[in-house]
A and B are shown apart, each in its own frame.
Chain A
Amino acid sequence: MRTSPGERLLDLAVSGVLWGFRILLVAAILIGTIATIRAGKYTSEQWIDFVVFGISQGSIYALIALGYTMVYGILRMINFAHGDIFMTGAFAAYFLATWMNGTGFIDSYPILGLLIPILFAMIVAGGIAMLVERIAYRPLRGAPRLVPLISAIGASFFLEYAFRGFFGPGVYAYPPIKALEGEWDILGIGILKVQVVVAVAAFIMMAILYSIVMFTKVGKAMRAVSESKDTAALMGIDVNRIIVSTFALGAAMAGAAGVLYSLIFRQVGFFMGFTPGIKAFTAAVLGGIGNIPGAMVGGLVLGIFESVGPSLFLEGLGITRPYQLKDAIAYTMLVMILLFRPSGILGERITTKKA
C-alpha cells in the first residue's frame, strides 16, 4: 500500500510521541525505584512483606479474572455482574461459617471449617450465575454486542441492591479461624498464615480449573464453542449447556475467591464486589482477555504492582501519600501493557474469524 509523504510524516510523528511516552514512563519508574532504594527507608523484610501481600491479593484477582476471561472467550461479552457473583459467594460462606462458628465446629476442625464454606460458596455463586445467564443474557444472545453489556450492568445493580435489601447496608465480619492466626516461618521469613493459605488455595483452584478446561470432555466442548458456536453445534455439542457450564465454572471460582477475600479482609458487605470486579477485569485484559493462564498471570502482576508500586516507584519520586495513587498505578500499567503489547501479556486468544 502506498502512502503519501504527508501521511508518512504524520505516522512518524505519532510513533515518535508514543515512543517518547514509553521512554518517559520507564524512566520515571527507574528513577523512582533507584531513589527509593537509595533512601533505604524499608528493610528487606518489609519488601518481602509487600510482595507477599501482593501475591495473596493478586491470586484473588486472578481467581475472579478467570470468570471474565472464560465468558469473554466463549461469548465475546464482558460479564459485569461477575464482581457481584463474587459478593454472593462471600455472603453464602459468611452465613454458613458464622453458624458453624457458633457450634464450635470451626475450632475443632479448622480444615473442614475452611473447605465447607468454600464449597458452599462455589455452589451458591454458580447457581446464581446460572440464573443470571438464563434471565439476563440468554434471551439477548444474537443481539448487538452492547445489549448484553448493558444487561450485565443491570444484573450487577440488581444483585447489589437485592442483597442490600435482604441484609442491610452495613458490613458483617467473617468469623476468624483461630488456626490461621499468626505466622509461619518460611525460609527464615515470618509470613502470615492466612496469606499463605489464600495463595495456595487460589493456585489449587486455578490448577483444577485449567485441567477441567484442557483435559475433560466439557472443557474440550468449551474450547470448541469458543472457536465457533455454529460448527460446535454441528458436531453435536449442546451449545447452551456448555455456555451455562462456563458461567457456572467461572462463578464457582469467583465464589471461592469471595471466601478467600473474606478470610483476609474479614468484611462482607453488599458493595464488596465492585472494586475487586473492576480490578479483576483489568487483570484479565492485562493478561490477554480470553486466555486462561493470562488471567492468572495478569492477576498476580496487578496484585504485586499495586502492593509494591506506591512505595517503590512513587515515594522515590517525592510523591507524598503515594497509596492514594494505588489505582493510578494499576491503570497506568494497563495503558502501558496495551501500548507495548496490545493483546495483553500472554496474548489474546481469539480466532481471526471472531475478531
Chain B
Amino acid sequence: MTKRLLALLSVLVIASMALAACGTPATEAPVATEAPATEAPATEAPAAAYECTDALGCVTIAPDEPVHIAYWGVLSGPDSSLGEDSKRGVEIAIDDKGGKILDHDILLTTEDAGCTPEGGATAATKLATDTSIVGLIGSSCSDETVGGIATLTNAGLTTISPSNTRPVLSDPARGPDYAGYLRTAHSDAFQGKAVAEFAYNVLGARKAATLHDGSSYAQALQQVFADNFIALGGEIVAQEAVAKDATDMKPVLTTIAAAQPEFLYYPVFVAVGGYVTAQVRDVAGLETVALAGSDGIFTADLLKGGGPNTEGMYLSSPDFSAFTGDYAGFIAKHEAKYGGSTLSTFHAHAYDAANILFAALEKVAVVEADGTIYVPRQALRDAIYATKDFQGITGTLSCSPSGDCGAPVIAVYQIVNSDPASWNPADTANPNPKKIYP
C-alpha cells in the first residue's frame, strides 16, 4: 500500500519535472536583490559635498579602497577555455592600465557561470549582492546571460560581454531586463550568414545538415545558417540536436547520414565539437562530408578532442586580419604573461570590453580632493552606451542603443594541421587555421 503510493508519487514527481522542463526556461526573473537606492555616503569623508542623485545610486570608493570590477563566465568544465581566454584579455587590459585607474588599484573578482543558464543566474545573484562592484565583463556563453542578466540589471549593474553571440541578446525588442547588457562580440546574424554563403557559393554544397547541443548559442546560430542557406537556394536535409553532455555521437550521426548531406554544420562548444569530429568519419555515409563549426570551437582544444579528423575542417570566426588595432602587440603581451598561444577566440573582444568600461568609468567618476570616488551607476551605464568611435583592437567600436558594440567582420578559416601545438591563427607566415574566405 505505502509502497504503491510511493511509486505513484514518484511517477507524479517525474511527470511534473518533465512538464516543467517543457516550459520556457529562464523567463522567471530571479528575485532581484534590493537595489541600493541611496548608497550610504562614506562617513569618513565629512568634507565631501557630493550628493548622489543618480537613479540607480552610486558606488562609493574610499581613498584606500580599490576600484572593484568583476568578470563572470565559464571557468570550469569542458568549455572553460572560452572563459579563461576572455579573462586573460581583461587581465591584460588591467596590466596595460598599470593596475590602476583614477589612482586606485583595480580589483578583479571572477565568478564561474559554467556555460549554463542556472550557472549564470547563480553567478549574477552572487555578484549583485556585492555593492562595491562598479561594472562587469561577461558572460562567456549566451546561456549564462539569459539566466543572469535580469538580476544584474535590476541591481543597477552593467555588463559587457566579450563572447555572447546569440542574435536576440542585442535585439531592439529585447526588453528592459537587458538594459544593463552590451557586447563587443558580433551577433550570429552575421556569422550564420557568412557560413551559409561560404557553403553555397564557395563549396557548391546544395544539401546541408546541422547539429546543435541545445544551448541558446548553437540553437540560434544553426537556425540563422539554415534560414540563409535555404534563402540562397539550398536544402536543409536534417536539423538534429544532442544533449550538452552527450559523448556517443554515432547514433545521431547515423540519423544524419540517412539524409545524405554534403555539408555538416555544428556550431557547438568544445566538448560536443570534439566528439562529433572524432566520430563522424566512422559513420557510413559521412566519410567525405564537409565539416564546419564556428567560433565556439575556434580553439586548439578542438584539435585535442577531435584528433586527425579536424584536418580540412572549416571554422568561422571574427576575422583576425581585419582587426585594426595593435593585435600583434596584444599577442606579444599574452605570450609574455601566460606563455603559449591564445586559448580561444574572444580575448581581444574582452580586452576592448574592459577598456570601454575603464573609459566610461574615467568619464563619469566623481573624484573628491581626498581621493574618494563616487561612481553613479546610471551615468556609467549611459556612458558605456554612448561609446562612439572607440579605437579598440577588434576595430573602431560604437555601441548601439540595443547594446551591440562589435565590429562584425566574419571570416571562414580552414584547419590545415591537426596537431594542437601548431594552432596559431595569428601567425603571418604559417597560420593554422588558415583564412580562406572571404
Chain A interface, DSSP helix/strand/loop, else mixed: helix
Chain B interface, DSSP helix/strand/loop, else mixed: helix
A169 touches B80 (CB 8 A): yes
With A49-B284, A169-B80 as contacts: A11 and B304 at CB distance below 8 Å? no
B49-79 CB contact bits vs A (8 Å, 1 = yes)?
A: 0000000000000000000000000011110
Q: Quick one: which of A44-87 are within 8 Å of B by CB?
A: 45-46, 49-50, 53-54, 57
Beyond A170-B300, A173-B304, 11 extra complex contacts between A and B, CB < 8 Å: A14-B4, A14-B8, A18-B4, A46-B284, A169-B76, A266-B305, A267-B271, A269-B271, A308-B251, A310-B255, A323-B241
Q: Quick one: which of B265-311 are within 8 Å of A by CB?
A: 270-271, 274-275, 278-279, 282-284, 300-301, 303-308
B305 CB contacts on chain A under 8 angstroms: 171, 173, 266-267
Q: Taking the complex as formed, is A326 at the interface, i.e. its CB lies under 8 A from any CB of chain B?
A: yes
Rounded to whole Å, the gap between the CB of A150 and the closest CB of chain B is: 20
Please name 29 pairs of A and B residues whose Cβ atoms are closer than 8 Å in the assembled complex, sorted by A: A3-B1, A43-B258, A46-B254, A46-B284, A49-B284, A54-B251, A169-B75, A170-B80, A171-B78, A171-B304, A171-B305, A173-B304, A265-B247, A265-B278, A266-B278, A306-B248, A321-B240, A323-B240, A323-B246, A323-B251, A323-B255, A324-B214, A324-B242, A326-B242, A326-B246, A331-B14, A335-B10, A338-B7, A342-B3
Q: Taking the complex as formed, is B245 at the interface, i.e. its CB lies under 8 A from any CB of chain A?
A: yes
- How far is A152 from B12 in the complex, measured between Cα atoms in Å? 29
B301 touches A170 (CB 8 A): yes
A17 CB contacts on chain B under 8 angstroms: 8
Rounded to whole Å, the gap between the CB of A44 and the closest CB of chain B is: 12
With A49-B254, A265-B247, A321-B239 as contacts: A169 and B81 at CB distance below 8 Å? yes
Lowest 9 CB-CB distances: which A-B pairs, in order? A169-B80, A321-B241, A323-B252, A53-B250, A267-B305, A171-B305, A324-B241, A173-B304, A266-B278
Q: Taking the complex as formed, is B111 at the interface, i.e. its CB lies under 8 A from any CB of chain A?
A: no
A1-22 CB contact bits vs B (8 Å, 1 = yes)?
A: 0010001000100110110010
Q: Which residue of A lies closest to B245 (CB)?
A: A275
Q: Taking the complex as formed, is B19 at the interface, i.e. its CB lies under 8 A from any CB of chain A?
A: no
Q: Taking the complex as formed, is B173 at the interface, i.e. its CB lies under 8 A from any CB of chain A?
A: no
Q: Taking the complex as formed, is A192 at the interface, i.e. its CB lies under 8 A from any CB of chain B?
A: yes
B258 touches A46 (CB 8 A): yes
A323 touches B77 (CB 8 A): no
Q: Taking the complex as formed, is A172 at the interface, i.e. its CB lies under 8 A from any CB of chain B?
A: yes
With A42-B258, A323-B243 as contacts: A192 and B252 at CB distance below 8 Å? no
Q: Quick one: which of A164-178 are within 8 Å of B by CB?
A: 164, 169-173, 176
A45 CB contacts on chain B under 8 angstroms: 284
Q: Which residue of B lies closest to A182 (CB)?
A: B282
A14 touches B5 (CB 8 A): yes
B1 touches A192 (CB 8 A): no
A310 touches B251 (CB 8 A): yes
- How far is A41 from B285 in the complex, measured between Cα atoms in Å? 14
Interface size of A by CB at 8 A reads 55
Q: Taking the complex as formed, is A311 at the interface, i.e. its CB lies under 8 A from any CB of chain B?
A: yes
- How far is A172 from B275 in the complex, measured between Cα atoms in Å? 12
Which residues of B approach A to under 8 Å, CB–CB? 1, 3-5, 7-8, 10-11, 14, 18, 75-78, 80-81, 84, 214, 239-243, 245-248, 250-252, 254-255, 257-258, 270-271, 274-275, 278-279, 282-284, 300-301, 303-308, 343, 420
B251 touches A53 (CB 8 A): yes
B4 CB contacts on chain A under 8 angstroms: 11, 14-15, 18
- How far is A307 from B301 in the complex, measured between Cα atoms in Å? 27
B76 CB contacts on chain A under 8 angstroms: 161, 164, 169
A50 CB contacts on chain B under 8 angstroms: 251, 254
Q: Taking the complex as formed, is A190 at the interface, i.e. its CB lies under 8 A from any CB of chain B?
A: yes
A171 touches B271 (CB 8 A): yes
With A11-B4, A170-B81, A176-B308 as contacts: A21 and B11 at CB distance below 8 Å? yes
Q: Taking the complex as formed, is A339 at the interface, i.e. its CB lies under 8 A from any CB of chain B?
A: yes
A230 CB contacts on chain B under 8 angstroms: none
Give the contacting residue for A57; candidates B8, B14, B248; CB below 8 A: B248
With A171-B270, A171-B301, A267-B275 as contacts: A327 and B243 at CB distance below 8 Å? yes
Q: Taking the complex as formed, is A271 at the interface, i.e. its CB lies under 8 A from any CB of chain B?
A: yes
Rounded to whole Å, the gap between the CB of A17 and the closest CB of chain B is: 6
B308 touches A169 (CB 8 A): no
Q: Which residue of B lies closest to A324 (CB)?
A: B241
With A171-B271, A171-B274 as contacts: A11 and B243 at CB distance below 8 Å? no
With A18-B8, A173-B305, A323-B255 as contacts: A275 and B242 at CB distance below 8 Å? no
Q: Which residue of A lies closest to B242 (CB)?
A: A323
Rounded to whole Å, the gap between the CB of B163 and the closest CB of chain A is: 16
Q: Which residue of B lies closest to A311 (CB)?
A: B255
B304 CB contacts on chain A under 8 angstroms: 170-173, 267
Q: Which residue of A lies closest to B257 (CB)?
A: A46
B251 CB contacts on chain A under 8 angstroms: 50, 53-54, 306-308, 310-311, 323, 326
B7 touches A265 (CB 8 A): no
B278 CB contacts on chain A under 8 angstroms: 173, 265-267
B248 touches A53 (CB 8 A): yes
Q: Which of A46, A50, A164 has the most CB of B within 10 A?
A: A46
Q: Quick one: which of A254-277 are within 8 Å of B by CB?
A: 264-267, 269, 271, 274-276
Q: Quick one: which of A308-324 are within 8 Å of B by CB?
A: 308, 310-311, 315, 320-321, 323-324
Rounded to whole Å, the gap between the CB of A326 and the closest CB of chain B is: 6
